[in-house]
């Protein structure tokens, strides 16, 4: 997890320097292609779920649930004993979110129900009626939170992932224990980076697009 910098450098290079204090060992039971999908998606999901301050009896909705962050959030919520409704953009993704541990899959927000907490990974979650009055919403998209949602929420915030090496170590251990599943949708060599971008932009992914160097 090493974001692009102003000078154009970032993770897409064969060698880079990164403070050792930010590192955690990769899981040992999966290859590095799979391991590469863990840090950003898992830490993003984990930190957003923590911000939602969930209790076991909370009704939680995750939007973009078939995506990388959403799919990780389903699994982490299940580990925490929270029942999750999973909102996906297309009906054919419903089996995938059930498989990850969602209690109920939804492709139509109108029939999804009412929730104490919403974790929005899809962006522009403009269905205020799905959040109960006084509920909590955390989004990891950059989009503006609709006013109607803000007005009924006790908490409606953006959350941005932070390095958390100790937690990443624990998440790696959960992968090795078989508790968290990693998902690679497609892999591309670096010389096909344009194709990788086009594939990512096309959407309908069930997992990460991985670029291999």
Ligand X SMILES: NC(=O)c1ccc[n+]([C@@H]2O[C@H](COP(=O)([O-])OP(=O)(O)OC[C@H]3O[C@@H](n4cnc5c(N)ncnc54)[C@H](OP(=O)(O)O)[C@@H]3O)[C@@H](O)[C@H]2O)c1
What residues line the site for ligand X (CB under 6 A)? 40-41, 44, 63-64, 66-70, 87-90, 121-123, 140-141, 159-161, 203-205
For residue 112, the minimal CB distance to ligand X (Å) is 10
CB of 69 to ligand X, least distance (A): 3
**Residue nearest to ligand X according to CB distances in the complex:** 67
CB of 41 to ligand X, least distance (A): 6
Of 14 and 111, the one with the shorter C-beta distance to ligand X is 111
Of residues 28 and 53, the one with the C-beta less far from ligand X:
53
- Closer CB to ligand X, residue 59 or residue 158? 158
| Residue nearer to ligand X on the CB measure, 90 or 198 | 90
Give the chain as a 3 state SS string: CCCCCCCCCCCCCCCCCCCHHHCCCCCCCCCHHHHCCCHHHHHHHHHHHHHHCCCCCCCEEEECCCCHHHHHHHHHHHHCCCCEEEECCCHHHHHHHHHHCCCEEECCHHHCCCEEEEEECCCCCCCHHHEEEEEEEEECCCCCCCHHHHHHEEEEEECCCCCCHHHHHHHHHHHHCCCCCCCEEEEEEHHHHHHHHHHHHHCCCCCEEEEEC
């Amino acid at each position: 997890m090493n974001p692009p910098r102003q000078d154009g450098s970032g993770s897409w290079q064969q060698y880079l320097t990164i403070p050792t204090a930010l590192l955690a060992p990769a899981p040992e039971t999966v290859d590095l292609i799979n391991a590469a999908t863990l840090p950003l998606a898992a830490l993003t999901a984990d930190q957003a779920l923590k911000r939602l301050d969930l209790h076991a009896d909370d009704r939680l909705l995750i939007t973009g649930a078939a995506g990388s962050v959403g799919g990780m959030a389903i699994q982490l919520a299940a580990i925490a004993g929270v029942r999750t409704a999973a909102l996906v953009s297309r009906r054919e993704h419903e089996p995938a979110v059930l498989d990850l541990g969602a209690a109920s899959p939804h492709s139509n927000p109108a029939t999804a129900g009412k929730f104490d907490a919403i974790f929005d990974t899809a962006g522009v979650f403009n269905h205020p009626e799905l959040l109960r009055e006084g509920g909590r919403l955390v989004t990891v998209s950059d989009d503006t939170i609709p006013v109607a949602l803000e007005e009924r929420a006790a908490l409606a915030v953006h959350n941005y992932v932070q390095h958390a090496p100790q937690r990443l170590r624990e998440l790696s251990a959960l992968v090795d224990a078989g508790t968290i599943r990693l998902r690679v949708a497609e892999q591309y060599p670096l010389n096909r980076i344009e194709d990788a971008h086009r594939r990512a932009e096309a959407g309908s992914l069930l997992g990460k697009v991985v670029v291999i160097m």
